[in-house]
Chain A
């Protein structure tokens, strides 16, 4: 029995000296892991940003080759532009925005121009966005973000854009 007790202490004597070196190595590995994970996170964000930039550049390149006027709208910055090829025709000011966007940015198509009763003017871009002038009776559809422009900006767009016109929207 005393022998058994000796084995126990002997085991302890063997195992404990190995602990400090194992701990140091593990800590170093853990440090490197954290560093790499942080680097991976930052790179993933950079890649996503570059993909988004590429998406908008491809849109602009497409529109440069097209003969149609188009919109670039940054709802977050409350501004936009009516453009033709690589020229700005008009700077737009977004007065108000409503609704929760489904995506951060995308190309959308003008599907409907509404000149309804009671000054219910609206430019509808599918289920992605509705543009209206200030003071117009709200044209609401569930879950479609809505942006309000000055009357002057809206009227310029209303007559400048035809059905099928493209817009690139940063929601």
Chain B
């Protein structure tokens, strides 16, 4: 009887100790030690700092001194022009772009009336621009093509009050056919309504980028 009681006492003592000991030790044999977790935290802190530094470098490389400059975008599929600065749209306008028509001369010369695409720049700005009729204009109307310097080629008042020169004979200019804005009706130039044209003329400078797609 007494032997049993003594054994019981010993078991009770051991049980009391074990019960008071922190729980979960046996089950955590595979979990990392505090030291290991500290190392992992240090490693992650180092990696985060490194990534932040690298990202900052990349962000700086992506910055462009021209980021705050105005630029123009022409969507020839939808006949829309936008004037932008950074992420901001300053002006959205209906425009006319190349008719995509094809004209052929008996001599074999031919023209496709398409607006140019790509990255262009405003090469010049004109007030009261004059249209020098090109050969295709006569061919299109079945008229004889005059000599290159023939004064008959000079036509006033058909390009609106202003023009922005894009090069290769292409311009952003006004039109008499404002009801056609938003469609493909030009010979390749970008036609704009009077109000929008004035705003463009006042906002852009020589060198302003024009992206046409």
Contact = CB atoms under 8 A, between A and B. Distances in A.
Size range of the chain A interface in the assembly:
35 or more
A58 interface: yes
Interface residues of B, number: 47
Contact of B54 (A54, A89, A91): A54
What does DSSP make chain B's interface, helix, strand, loop or mixed?
Answer: helix
A44 B61 CA distance: 26
Most B CB contacts (10 A, CB to CB) among A2, A29, A69, A89 go to: A89
B62 A87 contact: no
12 contacts: A1-B2, A5-B9, A8-B10, A9-B9, A19-B17, A33-B37, A54-B54, A58-B58, A84-B213, A86-B67, A90-B82, A159-B77
A140 interface: no
Interface of B: 2-3, 5-6, 9-10, 12-14, 16-17, 20-22, 34, 37-38, 40-41, 44-45, 47-48, 51-52, 54-55, 58-59, 61-62, 64, 67, 71, 73, 75-78, 82, 84, 87, 89, 119, 209, 211, 213
Contacts of B84: 87-88
Given A15-B13, A87-B211, A88-B87, A39 B41 contact: yes
B65 to A, nearest CB: 11
Contacts of A22: 20-22
B62 A57 contact: yes
Contacts of A16: 16-17, 20
Interface stretch (A45-53, A97-105, A106-114, A141-149): A45-53
A23 B20 contact: yes
A1 B64 CA distance: 93
Interface string A1-34: 1101101110110011001001100110110110
Interface of A: 1-2, 4-5, 7-9, 11-12, 15-16, 19, 22-23, 26-27, 29-30, 32-33, 36-37, 39-40, 43-44, 46-47, 50-51, 53-54, 57-58, 60-61, 64, 69, 82, 84, 86-91, 152, 155-156, 158-160
B155 to A, nearest CB: 32
A26 B58 contact: no
